[in-house]
Amino acid sequence: MAIYFHWEQSTADIWQDAFGTALSHVDLRTEQALGDPKDVQFAVVWAPPKGRLKQFPNLKYIFSIGAGVTHITDDPDTPLHVPIVRLQDDMLVQDMSCHILHWVLHFHRFYDLYKRQQAEKVWKRHLYRDNQERNVVILGLGQTGLDACQRLSDLGFKVTGWSKSQKSLTGVDCLHGEGSLRHALSRASILVNLLPLTPETTDLINKETIEMMPDGAFVINCSRGATIVDDDLRQALNTGKIEAAALDVFRDEPLPQNEWYWTHPKVNVTPHAAAPSNERSAAQFIASHIHRALNGEKPWPIVDLQRGY
């Protein structure tokens, strides 16, 4: 049994140690030493070379070194009959919540405005509302969305969560279904987008849905770039309909040098850095689930390709 491993930015010792601890024998294959493709039963990958995964005829599971799987499914040659397991570990959830908390507080406490004032050498204090007077809406109530909702609620913010299916969380108003999206957006003085990229969520944040939001709202996107219509967001920023945006994801990554996002005064760009996979916890999570598979149990969470996550 062999494991194909591909992540160009990985620390090899961390993965070797995790696999060595969880598994009795580890035959780790990389691009530099693929060996016989028939030996490979598990693939542990981030952005593998196009066409690589189809070369392993005995592949049982594909493990994503990240919560997203489009880096796997966007390859038309990926063997989609093989179950894909996405990363779901506590460190990733915590890191994403910290990113969201940072930007919610950044906008709520006028730090974005203070940064602009600094450039103009303006000394002017702005009084912010009590936390309980600020409506924060989170789109997407998976594990990360629920965790962020809880943390924001604990800080006293008025939190609304929206998802495709019904969810429940104490202290959070959970809405679900397409019919309640307008209602959710109408509350969103700060909108946090955590939705997975599916045909239904592609271009979801557009001119029409932005108009449903309060004037002067803020947008925080930690989802995927293709959930936002770029030109519609730019227009909303220019008119003041959207006061500012914190964007961690984009349609094209790395973000091209000529993109307007880089220089727009109301846009904060981060390089898909909201919750990078923590190598130690990711390696331990994946190694433990390979161990499960070898013992005849199903690893989890397995991606539902129909739903896109």
Assign residue 151 a region (left: φ > 0; alpha: ψ between -120 and 50; beta: otherwise). Answer: alpha
Quick one: which of 193, 194, 224, 198 has its CA closest to 210? 193
Q: Residues 106, 187, 272, 289: which is the catalytic one?
A: 272
272 is catalytic: yes
Q: CA 284, 14, 224 angle in degrees (round to 5)?
A: 65
Quick check: is 224 catalytic?
Answer: yes
Rounded-to-integer distance, Cα 5 and Cα 217, Å:
43
Structure tokens at 7: 């992540």
- 254 preceded by a cis bond (ω within 30 of 0): yes
Q: Is the dihedral of CA 136, 140, 144, 145 positive or negative?
A: positive
**Is the backbone of residue 245 left (phi > 0), alpha (psi -120 to 50) or beta?**
beta
| Among 224, 234, 292, 307, the one annotated catalytic | 224
Residue 190: partners with Cβ closer than 8 Å, 6 or more residues away? 104, 107, 108, 134, 135, 136, 137, 217, 218, 220
256, 281 contact by CB (below 8 A): no
Whether omega before 301 lies within 30 degrees of 0, making that bond cis, reads yes
Residue numbers annotated as active site? 224, 272
